[in-house]
Amino acid sequence: MLTGRVVSVNGPIVKAAGLRGIGMFDIAEVGRDRLIGEVIRLVGEITVIQVYEDNTGLRPGDEVTSSCRPLSVLLGPGLIANIYDGIQRPLVGISEACGHYIKKGIKLSPLDTEKKWEFTPLIEAGAEVNEGDILGEIPESPLVMHKVLVPPGLSGRLTSIGAAGRYTIEDDLYTIENGAAPYQGKLAAYWPVRKPRPSRSKKKPFIPLMTGQRVIDTFFPIARGGTATIPGGFGTGKTMTQHALAKWCNADIIVYIGCGERGNEMTDVLTEFPKLIDERNGRPLIERTVMIANTSNMPVPAREVSIYTGVTIAEYYRDMGYSVAVMADSTSRWAEALRELASRLGDMPAEEGFPPYLATRLAEFYERAGLVETLSGVDGDISIIGAVSPPGGDFSEPVTQHTSRFVRCFWALDKILADARHYPSISWIDSYTEYLHDIEGWWKDLDADWLTIRAQVMAILLEDNRLQQVVKLVGSDAMPPAQQFTLFVADMIKNAFLQQNSFDPVDKYCPPEKQLKLLKAILDLHTTGEDLVRCGATVKEISALEVVSEMVRLKSEVPNNELERIDDYRKRLAAGLASLKEKIQKG
């Protein structure tokens, strides 16, 4: 144990002397309240520490101690359905211990030390084991089977392992002889948050992360193991979009990081998730969710480390072979924490005052996503989706620009769409994805024409965007009938497909099969309607057909398990348009 003394205090930045032998990123406990801090700089005999708690009252001369252990999270059963602050303190336990406000210096175990878990061994004593091998299983929740793994970097002979039964996270469970001192393993172990957990190899993602949001899944899809960002100004629906993704995406585990956001938004997550039922398994969504809450009124330094805490937990479940989705809301608040800490350290500011290492830190975070072959030989993946809050909706600011360099999916939120109550307000003009060809095979197994259908619909939307410039000058009534019909079909795409109601019991989630059928119905209207316009029909006559106006209601009136009704609708649509054509030809 090292002991030193505080020599200066500058907000959350504390300088201490006398900690000879301490290392970068080691944990230190500062002052009488033993506040948790992390070493971020070493200058001669001076140790610079960022304190993760309210350090009001701290003064020079106060004691600083360190056991020279890096900032780590405790990984084991019990993470699921729990909520932590940025340094993995359990907020529910803190609330029970000291009320609504976090008491300075309070320390509770991140995992319940008294709860007993039902362990089933999958290997016998005497076997040779390597890092990542599965030793046994624990039903952590009805949706998550927790796998007990040999820790990374450890291999040897398993000399003992507990019989099937109930164990706490502090009970000795197994022993591995590896030539040195025997390793005594438990159900839980610490891992440094800034150190990525190892894997055998990284693979190219090929399965889409299905979100149930049509504008994402069809037009700007992300692959499992991919990276995406959601930039948008205030009120454009970043948090709402991330909530929808967390609720309905087909990942096995959700890690939701509320990084510097308002407390009421995390409250919404806490109150909604236990009540929401996953349509695929009929279980509450909370049973596959871990939450990190470092809201805007919590200490700034803990906001900076919260995303590392979240992604380390995600890597732990990835190593078990699960697909994990990390929602970081928002990385702009995280970058602001970096800026504040850098200014107190006296670092040279770069663009808009952000530190020059902003891009490096963003890259390090997003690089921890990916589809990998784990140490146990199975595939696991982490998808990272980070929200960005550019001031004034200016996408040229540094956080948005740097983030766009490191992600392959860009879901730009549009203020005009949001003001028009068009949600998700993802712009089909400014957004893009680089995963189309990676996941093309999966979609083609569902429908060989998927890419062609998508391209045709996108072409209509792009043509609509071009024509809207003309509409502003001359009005739609002065345009040729063919162009008027293109504008009509584009509006149908926006209203019948792109717009989605998160509160509608049917429309809140749209499976890929339904997305394709809806698009085919719209393209039926486009193809046949163009022929009708050439025959002399007007847009007003086509739009007046009852069967055409019914198209907008299909998304919410056709249940996800009754998709044959859309096939019936397409037949009625064809009959209605044919009847109109016959009427026009008869004159």
Model confidence pLDDT, tens digit, residues 407-454: 999 999 999 999 999 999 999 999 999 999 999 999 999 999 999 999
- Band (111; pLDDT cuts 50, 70, 90): very high
- For residues 215 and 518, give the distance between their C-alpha atoms in angstroms, rounded to a whole number: 12
With a cut of 80, say whether residue 540 has pLDDT above it: yes
Q: pLDDT digits over 456-487, tens only?
A: 999 999 999 999 999 988 888 889 999 999 99
For residues 575-584, give the mean pLDDT.
92
Give the model's pLDDT for residue 247.
Answer: 87
Q: Would you report the helix, strand and coil content of the chain in percent, each value rounded to 5?
A: 35, 25, 40
pLDDT (tens digit per residue) in 544-572: 999 999 999 999 999 999 999 999 999 99
Instruction: With a cut of 80, say whether residue 279 has pLDDT above it.
Output: no
* % of the chain surpassing 90 pLDDT: 78
Query: Dihedral angle at the C-alpha atoms of 418, 424, 427, 428, nearest 10 degrees?
Result: -140
Residue 452: burial class (beta carbons within 10 Å; 0-12, 13-18, 19+) = exposed
| pLDDT (tens digit per residue) in 35-59 | 999 999 999 999 999 999 888 899 9
Comparison of pLDDT for 24 and 279, the residue scoring more: 24
pLDDT in tens, 178-211: 877 899 999 999 999 999 999 999 999 999 999 9
Measured between alpha carbons, how far is 548 from 554 in angstroms, rounded to an integer? 11
Half-sphere exposure of 292 (CA within 13 A, CB side): 28
CB 65 within 8 A of CB 20: no
Copy the structure tokens of residue 541.
Answer: 């006559």
Q: At what angle do helices 331-345 and 398-406 cross, to 10 degrees?
A: 120
399 closest CA partner among 338, 447, 486: 338
**Which CATH class name applies to 450-586?**
mainly alpha
Task: Read off the pLDDT of each residue in 113-125 and give the average, rounded to a whole number.
Answer: 95
What is the average pLDDT score of the chain? 92
CA–CA separation, 410 and 430 (whole Å): 8
Parallel, antiparallel or unpaired: strands 83-84 and 46-51: unpaired
Average pLDDT over residues 156-176: 95
Is residue 538 very low, low, confident or very high in pLDDT (cuts 50, 70, 90)?
A: very high
Would the CA dihedral through 527, 533, 537, 539 be positive or negative?
positive
Instruction: Give residue limits of the domains in the chain.
Output: 2-71, 112-192, 202-434, 450-586
Among 357, 375, 241, 276, which residue's Cα sits nearest to residue 321? 375
pLDDT at 266 over 90: no
* CATH code of domain 112-192: 2.40.50.100
Residue 37 dihedral angles phi and psi, to the nearest 5°: -140, 170
| CA triple 365-366-369, angle to 5 deg | 110
Is the backbone peptide bond immediately before 330 cis, with ω within 30 degrees of 0?
A: yes
pLDDT band at 587 (very low <50, low <70, confident <90, very high): low
Q: Is the pLDDT of residue 261 over 90?
A: no
Report the distance separating Cα 435 and Cα 447, nearest Å: 17
Asked whether the beta carbons of 117 and 168 are under 8 A apart, the reply is yes
Are 126 and 141 within 8 A, CB to CB? no
Angle CA(153)–CA(368)–CA(428) in degrees, nearest 5? 160
Q: Please compute, for residue 440, the number of CA atoms within 13 A of its CA located in the half-sphere on the CB side.
A: 12
CATH of 2-71, one of 3.40.1360.10, 3.30.750.24, 1.20.1330.10, 2.40.30.20: 2.40.30.20
> What is the band of 71 on the pLDDT scale with cuts at 50, 70, 90?
very high
Q: Taking each helix axis from N to C terminus, what angle separates 358-366 and 331-345, rounded to the nearest 10 degrees?
A: 140
- Strands 289-294 and 83-84, by their bridges, are parallel
pTM of the model: 0.94
Burial of 350 (0-12, 13-18, 19+ CB in 10 A): middle
End-to-end CA distance of the chain: 96
Hey, what CATH topology would domain 202-434 get? Rossmann fold (3.40.50)
Q: Looking up tokens 């348009």, which residue turns up?
A: 577
User: 264: how many CB neighbours lie within 10 A of its CB?
Assistant: 8
DSSP letters along 317-337, please?
A: HHTTT-EEEEEEETHHHHHHH
Closest to 14 in 3D by CA, of 33, 32, 34, 39: 39
Tens digit of each residue's pLDDT (9 = 90 or more) over 331-378: 999 999 999 999 988 888 999 999 999 999 999 999 999 999 999 999
